[in-house]
Amino acid sequence: MEILLSADGAEALGTRFSTIEGITPVLFQRDGSLTRDGVAVTRDEVSPKGAWLSLDVLITKRVFDYVDHLLNLPSLEWIQSTAAGFDNPLFVEMAKKGIRLTNSDAQSIAIAEFVLGSVLVEFQNPTARLQNQSDKKWKGVNFREIAGTTWMIVGIGNIGNETAKRARAFDAHIIGVKRTGESLEAHETIRPADMKARLPECDVVVFTSPLNNETHHMGNADFFASMKEGATFVNIGRGGLVNEPELIAALDKGKPGVAILDVFETEPLPETSPLWEHANVRVTPHSSPKSNGTPLRAQELFLENLRAFLKAEPLRNEVPAATIIGSAA
């Protein structure tokens, strides 16, 4: 069976991939060409049934050439993405073609640590400490404890549960918001319809939701007005979850007190955006997954699903086609 992946991705996998029986790699080279067994081939000469959209492709301009291959290979049955989100038009188009998609939870630990670390920075006020050290002032800095705070995690899936697990270790109370089912890591799970009534209790509110027609701009003026004054707001889900002008207006009123934003409606964030210079906004460039552990977990997930695919077994993290198509509604 032919499997399409980048040459760099195959090199990173090494013998963990090359020794799997029953596969023939079709390699996507850095110049956009394809090779098989070291020989250049055209798209019409290959018939891969599976493909890996690895991070080395996903975050570069080469992704456009790779996507062109994916959408024009009639043989393709399954793709493993390195991304958690599935609202990209590429995945919608693939779902309509009947191609199966498995998304990634490899970044969940990294993003959870990013959230906790970012909140800790706000609570601990290290800037004042560093300034005192620079000024050689023997002066203590008061800080706020996470212990005893209440967190609301909206869209509590893989990332949300990893975040909840870490916040619980600091003795925070966790309210998980989920459309169906219960979170194993939250102290209590509520439905989106009950979210607004519980916001006044929450010291930290974290968006981890996917973007769809139901969640678009759920972070709006009405939502923020219901928050506790001075609360910390974090968005690591999708930029479109938040109405950015209404967030800025809400910040000016103190609800929330600070916004930690790793995702934005337009990326890269335009230089003209007022978010860059707002005193109560912390901007990071969609970098919460960029840990040392994420790439290895992504590789292991692809290999796990590849072995399952070869055996016609269930795939981990498969996203139903209806869910993917519905995300673009």
**What amino acid positions are annotated as catalytic residues?**
238, 267, 286
**Side-chain-facing half-sphere of 309: CA atoms under 13 Å:** 29
Of 55, 38, 190, nearest to 110 by C-alpha is 55
Of 318, 286, 239, 297, nearest to 59 by C-alpha is 286
Note the helical H segments in the chain. 7-13, 15-18, 55-58, 63-71, 89-96, 108-124, 126-134, 158-169, 195-198, 221-225, 244-252, 294-310, 321-326
The encoded tokens of residue 161 equal 């549960």
**Side-chain-facing half-sphere of 227: CA atoms under 13 Å:** 28
Q: How far apart are CA 207 and CA 153, in angstroms?
A: 6
Of 35, 42, 54, 47, nearest to 1 by C-alpha is 47
Of 112, 144, 136, nearest to 230 by C-alpha is 144
Residue 292's contacts (CB-CB under 8 Å, 6 or more residues apart) are none
Torsion angle, alpha carbons of 68, 45, 318, 211, to 10: 0
Count Cβ atoms within 10 A of the Cβ of residue 64 and give its class: 0-12 exposed, 13-18 middle, 19 or more buried: exposed
Q: Which residue has the tokens 């969609």?
A: 286
Rounded to a whole number of angstroms, the CA Rg of the chain reads 22
Note the helical H segments in 180-243. 195-198, 221-225
